[in-house]
Amino acid sequence: MDAYEFAKKMEIDGEKYYRKLASEHNDQQLKSLFNMLADDEVRHYEIIENMQSNEVRYSDTDTFKNVKNLFRKRLDEGKGFDIEVDNLEAYKEAVDIEVKSAQFYHEHAKKTEDEAEKHVLEKLASEEERHKVILENLMEFIEKGKTWVESPEFSHLEEYDEFTQRDNY
């Protein structure tokens, strides 16, 4: 299996995993969160498929801006997330998947000599890293509830704003 096929399989698996997590929740905001992450995986698949056809182009996402708004809305409503411990394990598994995906894209960006492809792979890697941060924020939010907003580390997403203009909030 070549790198493109592996990357596409990885993105399909990620989408299926996030759709599964979305289907397991009654909470509309959690459903929305996991569906946004799944949609990003579909977009990543399409980007990789285009690269495979020698069409190297990146398409932006609003996910990171929307996720921050989702957390803010939850806090403004004074609500936490009522999640079972089993779900936290699923989120930790998703974090591991995102870490491996980011590593894969970083490794392949180093190997390619095509500058456009290198740029797209690095953007995909940074998005996977941001997905990891979203999931870590979700776990922290669940574990700490309302006190989470009191932390000066409230949003760990801002450190990645330099990677895409669309995500400025």
pLDDT digits (tens, 9 = 90+) for 12-67: 999 999 999 899 888 787 888 899 899 999 999 998 898 888 887 777 777 777 77
> pLDDT, tens digit, for every residue of 77-104?
766 665 655 677 888 888 998 999 999 9
Number of domains in the chain: 1
Please check whether residue 163 lies inside any domain of the structure.
no
Rounded CA-CA distance 11/31 in Å is: 19
Please check whether residue 120 lies inside any domain of the structure.
yes
The residue segments making up the domain with residue 133 are: 3-157
Please check whether residue 169 lies inside any domain of the structure.
no
Q: Which two tokens stand for residue 78?
A: 């004074």
Contact 155, 65 (CB under 8 A): no
Output the domain CATH number for residue 27: 1.20.1260
Please check whether residue 168 lies inside any domain of the structure.
no
- Residue 71: CB atoms within 10 A of its CB come to 21
Angle at 127 between CA 108 and CA 90, to 5 degrees: 100
Which residue from 89, 69, 68, 70 is spatially nearest to 81, judged by alpha carbons? 70
Please check whether residue 165 lies inside any domain of the structure.
no
CA of residue 37 relative to chain centroid, distance = 5
> pLDDT, tens digit, for every residue of 100-156?
999 999 999 999 898 888 888 998 999 999 999 988 888 887 776 544 444 444 454
Please check whether residue 162 lies inside any domain of the structure.
no
Please check whether residue 166 lies inside any domain of the structure.
no
